[in-house]
Structure 1
């Protein structure tokens, strides 16, 4: 079907490549074979902003401009990929960025300097509020309200963006990516049974799932949770779709979609110790992907999801599949704060 997209501000290098991972496919195949693994290189959307968040931000920044906003407020963990991408995208668009980050201390108050995504946040000129975990969890809506009011009193206007840019607006980024994937499949002459991604805030999964449904795609979207559980993500994807429906309630928009008609597939068996915490198996998979294919995964999102996918291949979870596609959502800056967890061969 023809999809009518809202306004967007082009920032990503699109389309991103779809590439086969033949060495990883061979290394992790079972005695009975296994599917050919492909990767959608959304880590290449842009060199520094890189990753899935930039697709969403194209639509979010267009909405900010339409509303006359000059400031973006968003939130996430101290090493949030979304917040780093927002800080850089805001700088490129000539907007201010204010990041409400969970945990940690100001670098000037700590013997440990800012690293990874947090370092890039500061380099991009974002205002950073590092908030203790208890306050963040218990008072996040009030924090957004406080800073919205603060900027209004300065004569500015702020657009508040939820965690991961995941709502009925940000979802457009991966509806568009789902359409791009259909073009990739036609180009390569493949019909993958599964499109696979990590799910942390649910927006990428929601966009891929809804986009595939709108286009009548044959594949199933499977998300590997990196936090929370399966029921949370099933509900979160449904909420994002309902929010998308609400935002389309005007003449010329797409017809509403009943979330119950969507196949929302979530695996929550490989979360490990918790959000942002990986086990040694994940670090080994990250090392293998870099060594075999020159692809850098991260311990928070893609490393966990890729490990889950490989473990399920090993256990026969994709038996009978010819091709599966892993969507690399970026996050490479998140590797560096985990540097001590990798076993490196200095020889």
Structure 2
């Protein structure tokens, strides 16, 4: 009988990633209709929270970041949280393939393709594109990963309507897969939030509670697209808040509308993609080591930074939590290239140092030696020898 500690068993997988796990919603959400009953395990939960000192942050603001960009490697980002429930439904329904849609550079499509590969499902991605020739699509960023995991990608009109053009295509593809190859498909029409998808960040709210969000923070910042993340957080916030003791308003800010719940302020930002935004992303990376993407988190963080400086009335307090929803592969699709090439910041420039006699950095005149170089021989000679214990020592 094998034991967990046996060397022969050390590198064997303990679990099948396609194993369906029973799911029970948190007690505070147990009365909600449509809650899923199963899930699968795809990501690393309890993503860390740490202080985040971005450039230009007002001195009185305590900004922290929750690293949902650390949910996994190729599965990095918020999308994997909902896929634990959606793809569990697919497996429970005995599906062999998953069909979904998004932009060519879609994080959702990439995460779905990678997760499908892990689970042994075929991935079919309908990608909105202005380019009609697949050979003109450069395989980089999310597109590269889609290809690496073997996802089938279909270019569709960039302005295709979800209800009248995209969903019908998904249905046609599903029927052909069934008729021709006897494959059952699970459809995920992005842009139509479902109770199953919302469960991903409804459950994430419980994770935040376990990390002390109610005691530690006043405001939560998250980016928004289809609204599933913000909806899950807002519902969780509302259901766990004390309405009688706290009647403070919360703004869920989208493009044009405002919705209100109770307790903390939850803001979702979407700002225009500009040169300023790309420069902001670069400066945040240089000063904090946190990588933001140019489609979602970069916009959310720059909008938050602006309001913290110029419109503090939008915030309930000064203890802010920013949820990083991933999207790192958006940095590899070419959109950031020009900002790096245009930058004159010495810290971001690549230098040539082919000749050892050259100085790697500019040397002020008063620091140069008689030969005109910065290098000064060290008066202490380093002699390497082995001591009796065979350890290297320096004298």
The normalised TM-score by structure 2 is: 0.70
The secondary structure found in structure 1 opposite 2:330 is helix
CA contact (8 A) 1:164 1:203 kept: no
Spell out, residue by residue over 1:148-202, the C-alpha distance to the aligned partner (whole angstroms, 9 max, x if none).
Answer: 211221211111112168321111110111111111126xx94311111000111
Match of 1:214 among 234, 239, 247: 239
Output the CA distance in 1 between the equivalents of 2:183 and 2:205: 36
- Partner in structure 2 of residue 140 of structure 1: 166
Output the CA distance in 1 between the equivalents of 2:197 and 2:105: 20
Output the CA distance in 2 between the equivalents of 1:206 and 1:85: 20
Match of 1:121 among 128, 135, 146: 146
Match of 1:329 among 325, 329, 333: 325
**Structure 1 gap segments, 5+ residues each:** 235-258, 273-277
Task: Answer yes or no: is 1:340 the counterpart of 2:368.
Answer: no
Task: Answer yes or no: is 1:92 the counterpart of 2:123.
Answer: no
- Partner in structure 2 of residue 251 of structure 1: none
Match of 2:198 among 166, 171, 176: 171
Output the CA distance in 2 between the equivalents of 1:221 and 1:41: 23
State the 1:223 CA deviation.
5.5
Task: Answer yes or no: is 1:60 the counterpart of 2:91.
Answer: no
- Partner in structure 2 of residue 303 of structure 1: 298
The secondary structure found in structure 2 opposite 1:324 is strand
The secondary structure found in structure 1 opposite 2:99 is strand
Output the CA distance in 1 between the equivalents of 2:46 and 2:250: 19
Match of 2:63 among 7, 23, 37: 37
Q: How many residues align?
A: 305
Output the CA distance in 1 between the equivalents of 2:250 and 2:71: 21
Which structure dedicates a bigger proportion of its chain to helix?
1
Match of 1:12 among 43, 47, 53: 43
- Partner in structure 1 of residue 177 of structure 2: 151
Match of 2:77 among 41, 46, 51: 51
State the 1:107 CA deviation.
6.9
Spell out, residue by residue over 1:294-338, the C-alpha distance to the aligned partner (whole angstroms, 9 max, x if none).
Answer: 110000000000000000001132566131111100001011221
State the 1:289 CA deviation.
1.7
- Partner in structure 1 of residue 271 of structure 2: 271
- Partner in structure 2 of residue 201 of structure 1: 226
**Greater RCO between the two (CA within 8 Å, min separation 6)?**
1
- Partner in structure 2 of residue 312 of structure 1: 307
The secondary structure found in structure 2 opposite 1:113 is coil
- Partner in structure 2 of residue 160 of structure 1: 187
Output the CA distance in 1 between the equivalents of 2:279 and 2:336: 13
Output the CA distance in 1 between the equivalents of 2:74 and 2:132: 23
State the 1:119 CA deviation.
1.1
- Partner in structure 2 of residue 77 of structure 1: 103
Spell out, residue by residue over 1:93-123, the C-alpha distance to the aligned partner (whole angstroms, 9 max, x if none).
Answer: 111111010004477522x522111111111
Spell out, residue by residue over 1:43-72, the C-alpha distance to the aligned partner (whole angstroms, 9 max, x if none).
Answer: 000111100000000001111111111111
CA contact (8 A) 1:55 1:173 kept: yes
CA contact (8 A) 1:222 1:266 kept: yes
**Structure 2 gap segments, 5+ residues each:** 1-25, 31-35, 351-395
State the 1:220 CA deviation.
7.4
Output the CA distance in 1 between the equivalents of 2:194 and 2:178: 24
Change (3 A) 1:105 1:282: same
Output the CA distance in 2 between the equivalents of 1:52 and 1:176: 12
- 1:198-277 matched pairs, under 5 angstroms: 198-216=223-241, 225=254, 229-231=255-257, 270-272=270-272
- Partner in structure 2 of residue 130 of structure 1: 155
Change (3 A) 1:84 1:215: same
State the 1:134 CA deviation.
3.7
State the 1:263 CA deviation.
9.0
